[in-house]
Structure 1
Amino acid sequence: MNNDDVCYLSATEALKLFKKRKLSPVELLQSLITRAERVNPKVNCFADRYFEEALARARAAESRYMKRGARTRPLEGIPLAVKDVQRVAGKRTTQGSLIFKDWVDEHSDPMIERLEKAGANIFARTTTPEFCLSGITASRIWGVTRNPWNTVWGPGGSSGGSGAALAAGLTTLATGTDIGGSIRIPAAACGIVGFKPPHGRNPDGPPANFDRFNHCGPMTRSVADAALMQNITSGPHPLDHDSIRQKVRLPTEPAAIRGMKIAYSVDFGYVPVEDEVRRNMMAALDVFRKLGAEVEEVDLGWTGDVERNGMHWYNTMHFGRMTVWQQKQNADLMTDYALKFADIAKSSSNIDDVHKSWEQAHRMYQTLGPVLAGHDVFICPTNNAPAVRADHDPYDPNFTVAGRKVDPEYGWVMTHQFNMLHNCPVLSVPTGHAATAVPTAIQIVGRTWDDARVFRAALAYEKAVGGWYGDKRKRPVL
């Protein structure tokens, strides 16, 4: 293998090579560092880097693999990049904001703690927009992050740095958080795998664990790697009252799905969808048909009320924090979009309007619930446009998708609907590319708490299409 082939190894592949002593954790990490020095200036997906201390940990992992009969941990020596909003003990977490440029955390969030205990080697932090507010990844502290497939375009957000790092071959595993699609949006735009588990499946830290729309989860280049991470991070945690008691063991190997019943909708009944997204989704559905699945189009009957009522939650529960920082004389340090979100939150009519988002979610499930009761999974696009430009203005009043004027922040994604329906597991997987070379994707949505069935469908699909990064012809040119 050449250096780039090593950089694009999946974690499951790397672990097998470690155990056979055909590759060492040091060689893998050094390959990633070498590639990062060449490629990261083009995409700008890394925030803080811990290369030297990570190399020391890689050497310790290497020595464990070299000992005959030694017991190694599930992720022993696997490089991990952590989104710069998740706490890592002893490291600063800026949340993409100059306000927190010197904030150092005393403890790790539960998800990060579990990955480290499993042997994952944190060597870098990945970029995020300020306070994870946007579907673009640009901030005053870290600058603009770009899509490895076409640097004119953005990687999505808010876990855009993680998505770009994986697509660019700069990390083996990465983490993300998702309050409106922040794992799945960049997973789709960058052509990787991203999983939003049901809220509480993965324990989290405050304030995210108090927010039912909020989720933390894995971002990877393969479905098996996402399952590998989930099997480590899920389950109850003594410091998170919202973490659920049940722990699900996810499959990591593909199996037959003949007879599986799949429902789909391209547009939820109200969303404009770009032709390339639609075409690639239909091709993906044909793959499922060839695997023996029964595929049926359904009408959810959802309307634009989903958007209007969903925003009551975001305006009050998430954006409301912006007003606190703005009022603490931090406005001069904040991005324009953070200040605009603060103004929106201040102008929201009443905190009591939050109930409208709950009522809307209930109405949505009155149609989706019966669909899922009669089918194994539901499939729809992840983003209804492949991506937005790296310099996209999330307040552009003339922004359009498929010829229709839409909200410039949320009008190009189809993810936040499943933050409202927070108990449904959702996995984003690639479907192809647009003419710009930017990837497209579908979401595989499961019944509430039925994570394993989602992964079963995704593993079969991944095997049928031959995966996404094993061949150099399937990687971005950088």
Structure 2
Amino acid sequence: MRNEDICYLTATEALKLFRKKALSPVELTKALIGRAARVNPKVNCFADRYFDEALAQARAAEARYMKRGGEVRPLEGIPLAVKDAQRVKGKRTTQGSLIFKDWVDDHSDPMIERLQKAGAVILARTTTPEFCLSGVTTSRIWGVTRNPWNTDWGPGGSSGGSGAALAAGLTTLATGTDIGGSIRIPAAACGIVGFKPPHGRNPDGPPANFDRFNHCGPMTRSVADAALMQNITSGPHPLDHDSLRQKVTLPLEARSIKGMKIAYSVDLGYLPVDDDVRRNMLAALEVFRGLGAKVVEVDLGWTDDIERNGLHWYNLMHFGRQTIWQMKDNAALMTDYAIRFAELARKSTADDVHKPFEQAHRMYQTLGPVLAAHDVFICPTNTAPTVKADHDPYDPNFTVAGTKADPEYGWVMSHHFNMLQNCPVLSVPSGHAATRVPTAVQIVGRTFDDVRVFRAALAYEKALGGWYTSKAKRPRIEF
């Protein structure tokens, strides 16, 4: 097997090879480290790297596989990249900020703790914008992260480093967090799979677990890998009062979805949508029709008041407080966009915080009945494939499909389902734009109905033959 093929193995494939002794965790880890040396300078998706420690852990995993009757854990020896906003015991977590360049955590967040206990080997941390504020993965501490499919363009954010690392073949699994689409935006832009579970499905650490719009979840190159990670990380945790008591076991293999009822909207009734995104979404719906699903367009009756009253206000009241606090002593270390965010947050009032909750209630009055009458709802993940790597999230001249749009939120369709936080949402690739940058659709489920979302996605993925399964399906990265 060529090194590139090894680097693009899914976790489920790698685990089968480990058990057969046809591949070792050491071989996989070495292949990824070697590829990172060549590719990461072009993409810049890794923050801190733990290559020596990872190799030592891979050798220990290899010994477990070789020992007759030895205990082998569910992710034994699988390389994992962790977003630089999630705590890892004994490692620094910078949140993409120079302010925290020396901050070392004394414990791991619950999701990371469970992945490590399952045998995952943490290879590196992945880049994120400062404080995870943006859909553009650029920071003063780590620089500009680029899209492996076309390095002129960005990988999305804020889990942009995780998305880029998976697309570039630099890790087997990755993690992300999602408060406005931070898992799904880069999953779409990089052509991978990203899952936003219902809030509390995966336990988290403070303050994220107190944030109803926030979620931590898996980022992978296959739907089965996302399910594999979820089956390990979900369930109640004694240190997270918000974690859900129910643990859901997700399917790992596709089965028939004949008769499944799918509702869809290309634009949610009010958003400008790029032609490539629209075309690829309609093609994806044809795949579902070919699988025997009943696909029908619906009108949710949503309007642009979602943008005026929605996540923007919520972020200013929550994220905004952190930027204001940091501005007092650390303004010289902050990015321009974080400073601008603080300035906007100062203008918000306590009365503004109710707006997104009222808006979410109004939104669910139409989405709820649609989901009651259908198994899942599908729409694009992003309205445009992505934005340039150096995109200004405050650009007053930004457009989508020739229409002026909000430069921060106007190119994504993800934040609606953070406001509707109990709906599980899985982003899966739908094709590529003329720029070679991927596009995607998101499959939205009924509240807490994760299984049905994965059923639809597994069938869709199988019909397409998967992603990254051959050289022709991977980015052409020039060294």
Task: Give the whole-Å Cα distance in 2 for the aligned partners of 1:167 and 1:351.
Answer: 41
Q: How does 1:376-415 map to 2 (within 5 A)?
A: 376-415=375-414
SS in 2 for 1:34: helix
Task: Give the whole-Å Cα distance in 2 for the aligned partners of 1:231 and 1:443.
Answer: 20
Q: Give the TM-score normalised by structure 2.
A: 0.99
Q: How does 1:70-469 map to 2 (within 5 A)?
A: 70-310=70-310, 311-327=312-328, 329-348=329-348, 350-469=349-468
Name the residue aligned to 1:14.
14
Percent identity, please: 80
SS in 2 for 1:319: helix
Task: Give the whole-Å Cα distance in 2 for the aligned partners of 1:154 and 1:105.
Answer: 29
1:123 Cα deviation from its structure 2 partner: 1.2
Task: Give the whole-Å Cα distance in 2 for the aligned partners of 1:122 and 1:431.
Answer: 30
SS in 2 for 1:468: coil
Which string of whole-angstrom CA distances, capped at 9 and with x for unpartnered residues, describes residues 288-333 of structure 1?
0000000000000001111111122111022221100111x10000
Which string of whole-angstrom CA distances, capped at 9 and with x for unpartnered residues, describes residues 190-221 of structure 1?
00000000000000001100000000000000
C-alpha RMSD of the superposition: 0.5
1:352 Cα deviation from its structure 2 partner: 2.1
Which string of whole-angstrom CA distances, capped at 9 and with x for unpartnered residues, describes residues 389-429 of structure 1?
00101111000001110110100000000000000000000
SS in 2 for 1:448: coil
SS in 2 for 1:182: coil
Task: Give the whole-Å Cα distance in 2 for the aligned partners of 1:353 and 1:49.
Answer: 41
Task: Give the whole-Å Cα distance in 2 for the aligned partners of 1:295 and 1:147.
Answer: 32
Task: Give the whole-Å Cα distance in 2 for the aligned partners of 1:168 and 1:99.
Answer: 29
1:138 Cα deviation from its structure 2 partner: 0.4
Task: Give the whole-Å Cα distance in 1 for the aligned partners of 2:72 and 2:133.
Answer: 39
1:351 Cα deviation from its structure 2 partner: 1.4
Task: Give the whole-Å Cα distance in 2 for the aligned partners of 1:261 and 1:50.
Answer: 46
- Between stretches 307-316 and 87-96, larger displacement belongs to 307-316
Task: Give the whole-Å Cα distance in 1 for the aligned partners of 2:330 and 2:354.
Answer: 31
Q: How does 1:28-107 map to 2 (within 5 A)?
A: 28-107=28-107
Q: Give the TM-score normalised by structure 1.
A: 0.99
Task: Give the whole-Å Cα distance in 1 for the aligned partners of 2:8 and 2:274.
Answer: 30
Task: Give the whole-Å Cα distance in 2 for the aligned partners of 1:32 and 1:462.
Answer: 25
Q: Partner letter of residue 456 of structure 1?
A: R
Task: Give the whole-Å Cα distance in 1 for the aligned partners of 2:150 and 2:444.
Answer: 28
Which string of whole-angstrom CA distances, capped at 9 and with x for unpartnered residues, describes residues 248-278 of structure 1?
0000000000000000000111100001000
- Between stretches 260-269 and 305-314, larger displacement belongs to 305-314
- Between stretches 308-317 and 106-115, larger displacement belongs to 308-317
Q: Partner letter of residue 35 of structure 2?
A: R
Task: Give the whole-Å Cα distance in 1 for the aligned partners of 2:440 and 2:88.
Answer: 31
SS in 1 for 2:352: helix
Task: Give the whole-Å Cα distance in 1 for the aligned partners of 2:91 and 2:434.
Answer: 41
SS in 2 for 1:158: coil
SS in 1 for 2:205: coil
Work out the number of aligned pairs and report it.
476
Task: Give the whole-Å Cα distance in 1 for the aligned partners of 2:318 and 2:394.
Answer: 21
Task: Give the whole-Å Cα distance in 1 for the aligned partners of 2:239 and 2:81.
Answer: 24
Q: Partner letter of residue 453 of structure 1?
A: R
Q: Partner letter of residue 164 of structure 1?
A: A
Which string of whole-angstrom CA distances, capped at 9 and with x for unpartnered residues, describes residues 143-201 of structure 1?
00000000000000000000000000000000000000000000000000000000000
- Between stretches 437-446 and 313-322, larger displacement belongs to 313-322
For structure 2, which runs of at least 5 residues remain unmatched after alignment?
none
SS in 2 for 1:453: helix
SS in 1 for 2:429: strand
1:71 Cα deviation from its structure 2 partner: 2.1
Which string of whole-angstrom CA distances, capped at 9 and with x for unpartnered residues, describes residues 325-383 of structure 1?
111x10000000000000010011x1122111111000000000000000000000000
1:114 Cα deviation from its structure 2 partner: 0.2
Which string of whole-angstrom CA distances, capped at 9 and with x for unpartnered residues, describes residues 6-57 of structure 1?
0000000000000000000000000000000000000000000000011000
1:69 Cα deviation from its structure 2 partner: 1.9
